[in-house]
Amino acid sequence: MTSVSDDIVDITPDNAVTPVGTVPVPVVAKREGRGWRGWLITVGPPLLVALAAIGLWYAYSGFVLTANERNISLPYAHDVWRVGFWNAENRGELLDALWVSTKVSMVGLVISMVLGIVVAVAMSQAAWIERSFYPYAVLLQTVPILALVPLIGLRFGFGFNARVLVVVIISLFPIITNTLFGLKSADQGHHDLFTLHNADRWTRLRKLQFPAAVPAMFTGFQISAGLSVIGAIVGDFFFGRGEQGLGLRIKEYTSRLKSEQLIAAIILSALLGIVVFEFFGWLKQRLIREWH
């Protein structure tokens, strides 16, 4: 079988003229966003929005709510920091819960990535497989997860495995759809080139479809990363047993009207989702910025 080689194509116009005595200089794309100015442009706007949100928080808590309402529902930001994070005991509880939720969400996300890629590859290879399985992939996204949580608990228990299963159900669909879209988005001219060289199905998948699918795949990973955190907290919240993750802490703080710890737990949940989302965004840029 003839292998597909990387050909160098000269795209210089035929009528291009190089002045005598000069050496052609390759055009290099200007890299922007370097140094402290780039950092300020990137971080500055979100930081200003955060400061504005904190200002509105103080204004609403101080001028709209009474003292009792503020203590129950929305305490000042510095009270959340003092009670939820600065207090060593409360901070230890939240960090332990964060670790439990992180383990559940990451294990579920890895399983979703493996299953999603396998299912998407299978569907991309045969139309009948896509017609057979894609409706059930959509079903995972449309069935309310809260309706399945009791059934999952009764069948698989209320521990680590059941929570991971909830994460997989919530985060699987975006990976399937985005990976399938990427695998099917390879240029038809490239497909014709592989056909001309008698490339088999595995070579076409490995050298053409997978490289074309990488951007879409990582978009699905980013979406599912946030969903995996939600799934870990939802499963933890409604199972109400086993190791105490952020969901159980949120449930406990709500029932005991510990608003400072409750808001601190919500902040940690949001930060976990942001960190995982940004990690896959950074990884995508590292992998595809040179060619996509």
Asked which of 78-92, 110-124, 134-148 is least confident by mean pLDDT, the reply is 134-148
| CATH number of the domain within which 261 lies | 1.10.3720.10
Q: What pLDDT is stored for residue 43 in this prediction?
A: 79
Residue 46 lies in a domain: no
More confident residue, 129 or 110: 110
- Which residue's structure tokens are 């955190």? 229
The region of weakest confidence among 40-44, 72-76, 93-97, 173-177 is 40-44
Q: Residue 189's domain spans which residues?
A: 86-288
- Write phi, then psi, for 16 (nearest 5 degrees): -70, 135
Q: Domains in the chain: how many in total?
A: 1
Question: Residue 21 falls within a domain, yes or no?
Answer: no
pTM, to two decimals: 0.79
- Per-residue pLDDT reduced to its tens digit, 54-102: 999 889 888 888 888 888 888 988 888 998 899 888 899 999 999 999 9
Give the pLDDT confidence score for residue 229 in this predicted structure: 92
How many Å apart are CA 35 and CA 71, to the nearest integer? 44
pLDDT score, position 120: 92
In a domain, 253, yes or no: yes
Domain membership of residue 267 (yes or no) is yes
Question: In angstroms, rounded to a whole number, what is the distance separating the alpha carbons of residues 161 and 107?
Answer: 10
Instruction: Note the residue count of the chain.
Output: 292
Percent helix / strand / coil, the chain, rounded to 5: 75, 0, 25
Half-sphere exposure (Cβ direction) of 248: Cα atoms closer than 13 Å: 19
Confidence band, pLDDT 50/70/90 cuts, at residue 9: very low
Q: What's the CA gap between 219 and 125, in Å, rounded?
A: 21
